[in-house]
Structure 1
Amino acid sequence: MKTHQNPRSRGFTLVELLVVILIIAVLATLGITGSARFIEKGKKVKAMTQFRDFEIGMKMFETDYTKPPLPESKRDTGWDTIYGDPGGTYTNQFLVSVLAGEDKDYPYGGENFSAKQANPQGQSYMIFPLAVDNKMGVGKDGKLYDPWGREMMVAINGFNTPGQLLVPFNNGQNDSRLHTWTLAEYTDTKPNEQAYVFWSYGKDGKKAKNGNDGALSDSDDVVSWK
């Protein structure tokens, strides 16, 4: 009687094992890359939500005071003002205090910005979330931070001649165009005659791509206008 023996199972060769390991590594890399992109997209959406909420608060303030929240010195001279620029003079603490109805003063290079003077009624126009990790809310220092942990940047169009014809552009003083001193200007877009705008330099913390004067569409920056 003939018997049949099962052939011995052939194991994986070294080359085959290496191919399998390579495939697993590629799939893992693709998964990590996809997850990172998804996370960054979510942060951009959160930043836009911050812009929208801030804009609502500013509009409510304007309804009561017929002007955006500017300190007396800027309102009287008609200068556009930028808050939150990491290399600039003014933090966004003043705006946070004004919209929160706080009675605080902020000395900036010899100037004194009084939140009470800008909002004498002490009315609260926004409830800011607290951010213990200095992300997506107001930190212990009173600054409003974006989802990447940097100060949200805000530019306000200031002029002291309401109701009068303004010149199109006068380097940011008593003109209709909002001037940001190139900080929010890209080759494909820039603020125009908005009362105020908000923006963030995104994950890399640099304007446009690699800190160059490039296009918004090629960068990870987020802006409130288009």
Structure 2
Amino acid sequence: MKTPPLSPSSLIRRGFTLIELLVVIVIIAILVSLAVPATNIVMRKAQELKIKTTLKDLNVAIGHYRTEYNRFPIDPNDASAGGDSDMEPFLTDGTSQTMINILMANVDTSGGSTNMNPRKIKFIDLPTAKNNQFGIVDPSGGTGEGTPVQLVDTWGLPYKVLLDTNYDNRIQNPDKNSIDQIISSKAPEFLSASSAIYSFGPDKIENTKDDIVSWR
């Protein structure tokens, strides 16, 4: 038996009306607007985890270096310059301290007192930065042994390092300088640690709420 052909009115009823299409578009727009912030949060958490891992690895590497050489991986003259106080914090940009070179065993092996890792022990393995973000930036392009390198975070900025160079097992807490009153009001004056490291975070501004730190 043949099926009777559909009438034009039946075809119209089987399609979508303009209102139905608009409703679908609105629903899709709402779902997209909800998904984008969620995706951004996930990406931000992933970036924070990468930074946290690097901070932990650096603290461990500094501890292992101290066990091996009974000193910090910095210029001994700078370590004692503060007298009874800890030396001033420094950045991992290779300008004032070559700590990253020392920990990576990327040192000048020509001799002399400048070689702070004479046994060439690699205490940490760090990735090469891509587009000058998250990892090692080597101005020499990898050709100059001992050339000061930079270690930068996801946003292309160096980390800040504090060391307990007077060996009293406490460091001035950077959280006390935070412009976020919730953080600064709850922060103790000192950290019970031999080293502390932090990133300025996504806003690239020091002492703000989004700083990524090694102690909390």
Q: Is the CA contact (8 Å cut-off) linking 2:80 and 2:87 kept in structure 1? A: no
* TM-superposed deviation, 1:93: 5.8
- Hey, which of these two has a bigger chunk of helix by percent? 2
**1:158 counterpart letter in structure 2:** T
TM-score by structure 2 length?
A: 0.71
Q: Which position in structure 2 is the counterpart of 1:61?
A: 65
- Counterpart of 2:154 (choices 132, 147, 158) is 147
Task: Select which of 17, 29, 34 maps to 1:25.
Answer: 29
Aligned to 1:37: 41
Which is further off, 185-194 or 134-143?
185-194
Q: Is residue 2:99 matched to residue 1:98?
A: no
> Does structure 2 retain, via aligned residues, the 8 Å contact 1:80–1:178?
no
Gaps of 5+ in 1: 105-113, 167-175, 212-218
Once the two structures are superposed, what CA deviation does each residue of 1:109-163 show, in whole Å capped at 9, x if it has no partner? Answer: xxxxx9935434443322222113222210123111122322122211221xx5x
> 1 CA distance for matches of 2:36 and 2:95?
36
Q: Deviations over 1:25-72 (max 9, x none)?
A: 111122222111111111111111111211221111010122322322
Counterpart of 2:145 in structure 1 is none
Question: Matched residue of 2:121: which SS?
Answer: coil
Q: Give the root-mean-square deviation of aligned CA atoms.
A: 3.3
Shift of residue 15, structure 1, vs aligned partner: 4.5
Q: Does 1:72 align with 2:76?
A: yes
CA distance in 2, matches of 1:33, 1:138: 30
- Relative distance call for 1:183 and 1:94 in structure 2 (3 A) is farther
- Contact 1:102 / 1:115 at 8 angstroms: preserved in 2? no
The 1:38–1:115 alpha-carbon spacing in structure 2 relative to 1, beyond 3 Å, is farther
Deviation of 1:184 after TM superposition, in Å, equals 6.6
C-alpha change, 1:129 and 1:85, in structure 2 (3 Å) is closer
In structure 2, the residue matched to 1:136 is 134
Residues 92 and 152, structure 2, Cα contact 8 Å, conserved in 1:
no
Out of 172, 176, 180, the position equivalent to 1:179 is 172
Does 1:221 find its partner at 2:211? yes
Distance 2:38 2:113 in 1: 44
Aligned residues of 1:70 and 1:158 also touching (Cα < 8 A): no
Look at both structures and tell me which one has the larger radius of gyration over its CA atoms.
2
Q: Closer, same or farther in 2 for the Cα pair 1:103/1:25, shift >3 Å?
A: same
Which SS does the other structure have where 2:32 is aligned? helix
Equivalent residue of 1:123, what SS? coil
When the two structures are superposed, what TM-score results if normalisation uses the length of structure 1? 0.68
- 2:198 is aligned with what amino acid? W
Matched-pair contact (CA < 8 Å) for 1:116–1:122: no
What is the aligned partner in structure 2 of residue 189 from structure 1?
Answer: 187
